[in-house]
Structure 1
Amino acid sequence: MFFMSKNLVTDTLTLRHRAILSNRIVMSPMQTLSGKRNGFASADTIAYYAARSQAAGMIIAEYHYVSPNGGPCSTPGYPEQLAAYSDEHLDGLRQVAKAIKKDGNKAILQIHHGGRAAIGQAVSGSPAVAPSQMDFDFLNYPVRELTNEEIEAIIADFGQATRRAIEAGFDGVEIHGANHYLLQQFFSSYSNRRNDQWGGSLEKRMAFPLAVVKEVKRIAKAFAKKEFIIGYRISPEEIHGETIGYTYQESTQLVARIVEQELDYIHLSLFEGYHSKPKNSDLSYAEHFKKVLDEQTKLIIVCGVTSQEQAQDAIANYSDLIAIGRGTLIEPQFAKKIMEGKGETILHQISPETLAYAQLTPGLKEAFTREDHLGLPPLPGGESIQSFHTGQFDMFN
């Protein structure tokens, strides 16, 4: 394999700008379905993050939309996606950062714009926005094309959300360029049909994500300590049958340009396992992306890790850091148990007996006890807790 490090999952890691992580485990950003109207944090939000303050050396708080029209992307009827588009959100942001950092680990705020996925706009009677106006057969609401002035405003909004993260006490931000949200929509040739400076050629499809990176960097330089962490999350490919938005050959070119901006890490959003590969390739996605990173830009990969053994394999053979998603939903003390030499006691699946221990928010508990688990990746053992579903948020579903 290309990576083959001798690092242990329990090793510390110093990032480019000298921030030190206590171990190689990251808690992946996951929606908590806990926000109040207009994206304000709730008591459930704070309790969820406080329970996971020792889940990883670096905890990435879920996606927070940076513009009023950037969300919510959460399921109507359920508690909302969180937001960071105004200074009114600062109090909640401070509480989230404090809850995450209470045991000494790093708190990262994921900043995000949903673009066409902001279903909350449609529910409230406004069209969702996107790089191009087109009919998406998987949406049942209209989408409007962004003007140049609106694009510039959203870029500035990412900067202001970064300022709020700094003021709130977060140790860094992660720019969400994955999972079919706005940055990916601009990079995708499927959803970006523009013929101006924001679309057309591959170079122009890179313009919006690169502009966001540069603005976030500018604000961090002006307001943050030098150790402030900046990362970028990306889906390595956008291929759905015959529909191709971009391939890994194109996304590695974007990442190579992002690396020039001297970020701390790149975070690969994977869906078929941390060792997954592109079609017709002998190398994993992690190996392909490692080739375009410099020595100081660290790689995070995520997908399918629920045990210490899997985490160690990922660190030894694929990546600098391993992000744990569902594993930390089931086991809130994932990294703590490993650091204490108790990795064998990590819970690997949910059950009626462990549901209270998991300390899920009411929204997540309702989502994961549905038969369709609200479209979220199912929890191992999830079928055993379906009898706990109450339907309290299912008025629209």
Structure 2
Amino acid sequence: MTKELTDSITLRHGAVLNNRVVMSPMQTHSGLRNGFASEDTIAYYAARAQAAGMLITEFHYVSQNGGPAYVPGYPEQLAAYSDEHIDGLSKVAHALKKEGNKAILQIHHGGRAAIGQAVSGQDVVAPSALDFPFLDYPVRALTDAEIRSIITDFGQATRRAIAAGFDGVEIHGANHYLLQQFFSKWSNQRTDDWGGDLKKRMAFPLAVVKEVKRVIAEEQAAHFIVGYRISPDEIHGDNVGYTYKESTQLIAEIVKHELDYIHLSLWGGYASSPNGVDRSYASLFNDVLDEQTKLIIVGGVFDAHSAQDAVAQHTDLIAVGRGTLVDPQFAKKIAAGQGEQILHDVSPETMDYVKWTPGLKEAFTREDALGLPPLPGGETIRALHTGRFDMYRKM
């Protein structure tokens, strides 16, 4: 039977999704100092309540030393490291759930990417104290006690997600943040229980998964969704952190803990493959998933046709990132049989419709888009850039 975008999906722990479309986590550049949600944050997510059947927030750092990972001068990354954040988290969850779709909190630790720690004169921590050529600040190796504390922090952020009314959490093990840093043999050069051979480099991400599942059981959160996001390989020229052959082994171990889904972060498109391999990443990872663990892939979907091809040929659920930036009613239009009306590019005329935060608007109207992947039509909105958040970068 052909999978359709409009199929409802029942996940392992009983949650039911209205369709196969997922809103990918994307930084909104909207947080207040210390990672609190702003009115801009709430408005952005409320505008996307019908973008997908499952809506994943941007990354929220779980420890005080875990962020913010952001561009200094721009609004901060959001956080979930204290109970003081629960009120804002509740508002985000309510905004996302108001049309009956599922809201997922992505939880994260930036590790070496926590530039906010460096800006404020605090230690930036990582698995190993290495001299990274792309950083203009030093990093310090985490102690064993600090590692165990961060594992606990992931569990406490999960408890806050439950208290705030989220339907689930996604553990962020991708995009060069702390969980990936521990798994990478390039960035993790420890010789203790947290680094060395492949099994030891798996120890930290697996401990985080176990702690998240433990807290969910303790809180008796019925139907609570748990996912894990991973970059399928880490290859940058001669620097090889791991290949898909190693990451599939990690996922095979994670699957034993009965997660609802695995989310592949793909930069080359939803059908992309490792170099020299004639199978897609999706196919390779499907080999290690059990029947109840759904696969989510993301990459280059801006229209209903591409989304349908992805689920028909490659995956259970298709995550749409930039496509929901361009059209915040992506899945709503598909459900209404109006997929041909999905907007495929941005323009000055669509700025009111897209409901971007001021930080996002400034980011995407920059010539370099702050390093974010380009948007179709992005060149047409360059003249709207004001530079209001760029003062730090000019110093």
Which residue number corresponds to residue 74 of structure 1?
Answer: 70
Which residue number corresponds to residue 179 of structure 1?
Answer: 175
Which residue number corresponds to residue 248 of structure 1?
Answer: 244
Asked whether 1:195 is paired with 2:194, we answer no
Asked whether 1:304 is paired with 2:297, we answer no
Which residue number corresponds to residue 220 of structure 1?
Answer: 216
Deviations 1:221-244 (A, max 9, x none): 111422000000000000001110
Among candidates 362, 366, 370, match of residue 374 of structure 1? 370
Distance 1:95 1:224, change over 3 A: farther
Asked whether 1:93 is paired with 2:66, we answer no
Deviations 1:158-185 (A, max 9, x none): 0000000000000000000000000000
Asked whether 1:152 is paired with 2:110, we answer no
Among candidates 21, 32, 38, match of residue 36 of structure 1? 32
The Cα shift of 1:126 comes to 1.2
Which residue number corresponds to residue 139 of structure 1?
Answer: 135
Cα separation, 1, equivalents of 2:208 and 2:310: 30
Asked if structure 2 preserves the Cα contact closer than 8 Å seen for 1:127 and 1:141, the reply is no
Q: Which moved more, 1:176-185 or 1:220-229?
A: 220-229
Cα separation, 2, equivalents of 1:7 and 1:224: 32
Which residue number corresponds to residue 23 of structure 1?
Answer: 19
Among candidates 306, 315, 318, match of residue 311 of structure 2? 315
Cα separation, 1, equivalents of 2:283 and 2:392: 43
Secondary structure at 1:56 match in 2: coil
Which residue number corresponds to residue 52 of structure 2?
Answer: 56
Secondary structure at 1:353 match in 2: helix
Asked whether 1:328 is paired with 2:311, we answer no
Q: Which moved more, 1:224-233 or 1:76-85?
A: 224-233
Which residue number corresponds to residue 260 of structure 2?
Answer: 264
Among candidates 117, 120, 123, match of residue 121 of structure 1? 117
Cα separation, 2, equivalents of 1:66 and 1:57: 25
Which residue number corresponds to residue 233 of structure 1?
Answer: 229
Cα separation, 1, equivalents of 2:70 and 2:219: 31
List structure 1 runs of 4+ shifted beyond 4 angstroms: none
Secondary structure at 2:349 match in 1: coil
Which residue number corresponds to residue 354 of structure 1?
Answer: 350
Alignment-mate amino acid for residue 338 of structure 2? K
Deviations 1:265-292 (A, max 9, x none): 0000000100000011110000000000
Give the TM-score normalised by structure 1. Answer: 0.99
Which residue number corresponds to residue 336 of structure 2?
Answer: 340
Among candidates 378, 384, 388, match of residue 388 of structure 1? 384
The Cα shift of 1:295 comes to 0.4
Cα separation, 2, equivalents of 1:117 and 1:155: 18
Cα separation, 2, equivalents of 1:123 and 1:58: 35
The Cα shift of 1:127 comes to 2.2
Alignment-mate amino acid for residue 193 of structure 2? Q
Secondary structure at 2:333 match in 1: helix
Alignment-mate amino acid for residue 35 of structure 1? G
Cα separation, 2, equivalents of 1:119 and 1:74: 7
Secondary structure at 1:206 match in 2: helix
Asked whether 1:10 is paired with 2:6, we answer yes
Cα separation, 1, equivalents of 2:347 and 2:242: 39
Show structure 1 runs of 5+ residues with no match.
none
Asked if structure 2 preserves the Cα contact closer than 8 Å seen for 1:264 and 1:298, the reply is yes
Cα separation, 1, equivalents of 2:133 and 2:101: 43
Cα separation, 2, equivalents of 1:268 and 1:357: 29
Give the TM-score normalised by structure 2. Answer: 0.99
Which residue number corresponds to residue 290 of structure 2?
Answer: 294
Secondary structure at 2:348 match in 1: coil
How many residues get paired?
393
Asked if structure 2 preserves the Cα contact closer than 8 Å seen for 1:166 and 1:224, the reply is no
